[in-house]
Amino acid sequence: MQIDYTETLTVTSCWCGIRLAIPDNLHRWLADAPGRQCYCPLGHTFVFRENYQTKLERERRQHRATRELLKAEERSHSATKGQMTKLRKRVEAGVCPHCNRSFANLQRHVATKHPECLAA
C-alpha cells in the first residue's frame, strides 16, 4: 500500500521523547491556542503550552520591566552621587555634616564633639 501526501509535515516531539511528523496545518492549529492536545503514536498526550507569539510577548514584557528597573536604579544612583558630592564639598568648606556649623579645623571638631561618628 502506498500513500501520496502533498502537504508539508512538521517534525515535533512528545514529552516521552519520540519524534514524529505531523501535518503543518495541525501543528499551527495546536500551537495557536495553548492547551490543545495531540497524541503521539504511543498514546501519550502532548500539549502545546505556549505558542511563539505568547512567548515573545512575555519575554518583551520582562525585557521592558528590566529596562525600567535599570533606569530607576540609574536615577537613584545619580541622586545619591549628587548628594554625596554636595556633602563632600560642604565638608571641604569646613561645614560640620552633623551640626551644620562652620569650623576652621573640622577634623578636630568632629573628633571632640562627635566621636560616635568616627567609630562607625
Q: Is residue 39 part of a domain?
A: yes
44 and 58 co-located in one domain: no
29 and 62 co-located in one domain: no
31 and 86 co-located in one domain: no
Give me the domain span that covers residue 73: 53-119
99 and 113 co-located in one domain: yes
90 and 114 co-located in one domain: yes
Query: Which pairing describes strands 9-13 and 45-47: parallel, antiparallel, or unpaired?
Result: unpaired
pLDDT digits (tens, 9 = 90+) for 17-53: 888 888 998 888 887 877 788 888 899 987 776 667 7
83 and 98 co-located in one domain: yes
Q: Are 20 and 41 in contact (CB under 8 A)?
A: yes
109 and 66 co-located in one domain: yes
Q: Provide the whole-model pTM.
A: 0.47
Q: Looking at residues 11-18, what average pLDDT do you find?
A: 85
Instruction: State the total domains in the chain.
Output: 2
58 and 94 co-located in one domain: yes
Write down the pLDDT at residue 119. 64
Distance separating alpha carbons of residues 44 and 16, to the nearest angstrom: 8
Q: Residues of 63-89 as b/e, b for ≥16 C-beta within 10 angstroms? A: eeeeeeeeeeeeeeeeeeeeeeeeeee
